[in-house]
């Protein structure tokens, strides 16, 4: 019988952040593609669009006029999924049908007044202003007595559900801790309780030693394809220093963070020579008043493009019914990204 080869044979990989497994099938990356072909977006946008509800000076759907903002701009989402004034309450029926009210605040952050830019096009100093605003909003929203978690994220590209191409992200702050951060909290705190060290600090040390999945790095941050990656060119951005949330980041680290975001975004755009779509989000410690010594801030990038700029990856079939599954190994994905740095 052949010797098991992690680069050739089907296997499962464990995700210690979620306590879950992912099925990896390296041989399937060789199969031909005869499925749907997507039309990808090209950067042909003007610097200012008079019809864009996020551009400076334009009127939004609720009738409010945007200020002539020179860098970043944040406002409460006009179509918020969560509302601060939602009344408390719950519903149960025979302990099987259960519902609980959820309060929260949803905000939109414009990264730049320029309609035609993305993070990869912006200067590091401009991205640093975005990081400044992320920090400010995390602290401001997290200080509210009914907010237990602040989720900062960006959906880039229409394929990821973005309703506006203007460079922007969102913040959803809510009264409960959502599912993915809750699982990461449990795993990180359990690891810290047992080892008195951060799970992601130990993991990062291992990755820096092996080097095979590292994409870009600087003095303060490292971007790599995680060993347990699910999305084709998924990456995770990790600070070298163990800290739990943006309230604990230094000014130098904010510059390093901005640098890594720009360089990684640039690599993504080079990969398929298009404005690369993705969903990205920062995971950090909850704001529910409890101590979380094991929490290690990090940022996930989940890009859907599979083999070309016209082929994307959905979670379907086995992935919806059983476990996540991927064909491109994290090592080969990292190599392709690293070659474009």
Q: With beta carbons less than 8 A apart as the criterion, state whether 312 and 38 touch.
A: yes
What whole-number distance in Å separates Cα of residue 65 and Cα of residue 50? 12
**Per DSSP, which regions of the chain are E strands?**
11-15, 20-24, 73-76, 90-93, 97-100, 104-110, 149-156, 168-174, 214-217, 221-224, 235-239, 278-283, 298-302, 325-326
Q: Which residues of the chain have pLDDT under 70?
A: 1, 28-43, 307-315
Residue 158 has what pLDDT?
Answer: 85
Residue 271 lies in a domain: yes
How many domains does the chain divide into?
1
Active-site choice (9, 27, 115, 168) = 168
Residue 11 lies in a domain: no
What kind and span of H or E run contains 303? none
Residue 34 lies in a domain: no
Residue 33 lies in a domain: no
Residue 155 lies in a domain: yes
Active site includes 168? Answer: yes
CATH number at residue 95: 3.30.428.10
Residue 16 lies in a domain: no
Residues 6+ apart with CB under 8 A from 75: 64, 66, 107, 108
What whole-number distance in Å separates Cα of residue 247 and Cα of residue 233? 29
Describe the strand order of the beta sheet including 168-174 as a list of residue ranges: 73-76, 104-110, 168-174, 149-156, 278-283, 298-302, 235-239, 221-224, 214-217
Residue 28 lies in a domain: no
Residue 126 lies in a domain: yes
Range of the domain at 54: 46-338
């Amino acid at each position: 019988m052949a010797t098991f080869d992690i680069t050739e044979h089907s296997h499962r990989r464990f995700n210690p952040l979620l306590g879950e497994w992912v099925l990896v099938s390296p041989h399937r990356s060789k199969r031909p593609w005869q499925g749907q072909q997507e039309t990808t977006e090209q950067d042909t946008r003007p610097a200012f669009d008079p019809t864009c509800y996020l551009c400076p000076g334009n009127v939004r759907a609720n009738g409010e006029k945007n200020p002539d903002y020179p860098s970043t701009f944040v406002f409460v989402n006009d179509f918020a999924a969560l509302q601060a004034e939602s009344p408390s309450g719950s519903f149960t029926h025979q302990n099987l049908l259960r519902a609980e009210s959820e309060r929260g605040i949803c905000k939109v952050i414009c990264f730049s007044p320029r309609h035609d830019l993305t993070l990869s096009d912006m200067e590091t100093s401009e991205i640093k202003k975005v990081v400044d605003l992320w920090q400010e909003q995390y602290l401001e929203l997290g200080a509210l007595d009914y907010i237990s978690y602040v989720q900062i994220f960006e959906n880039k590209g229409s394929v990821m559900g973005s309703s506006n191409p203007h460079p922007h992200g969102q913040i959803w702050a809510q009264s409960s801790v959502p599912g993915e951060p809750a699982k990461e909290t449990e795993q990180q705190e359990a690891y810290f309780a047992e080892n008195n060290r951060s799970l992601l600090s130990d993991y990062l040390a291992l990755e820096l030693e092996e080097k095979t999945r590292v994409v870009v790095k600087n003095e303060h941050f490292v971007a790599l394809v995680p060993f347990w990656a699910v999305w084709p060119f998924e990456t995770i951005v990790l600070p070298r220093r163990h800290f739990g949330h943006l309230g604990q980041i230094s000014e130098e680290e904010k510059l390093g963070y901005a640098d890594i975001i720009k360089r990684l975004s640039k690599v993504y755009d080079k990969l398929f020579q298009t404005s690369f779509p993705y969903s990205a989000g920062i995971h950090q410690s909850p704001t529910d008043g409890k101590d979380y010594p094991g929490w290690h801030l990090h940022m996930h990038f989940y890009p859907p493009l599979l083999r070309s700029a016209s082929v994307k990856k959905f979670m379907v079939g086995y992935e919806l019914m059983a476990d996540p599954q991927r064909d491109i190994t994290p090592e080969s994905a990292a190599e392709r990204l690293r070659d474009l740095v």
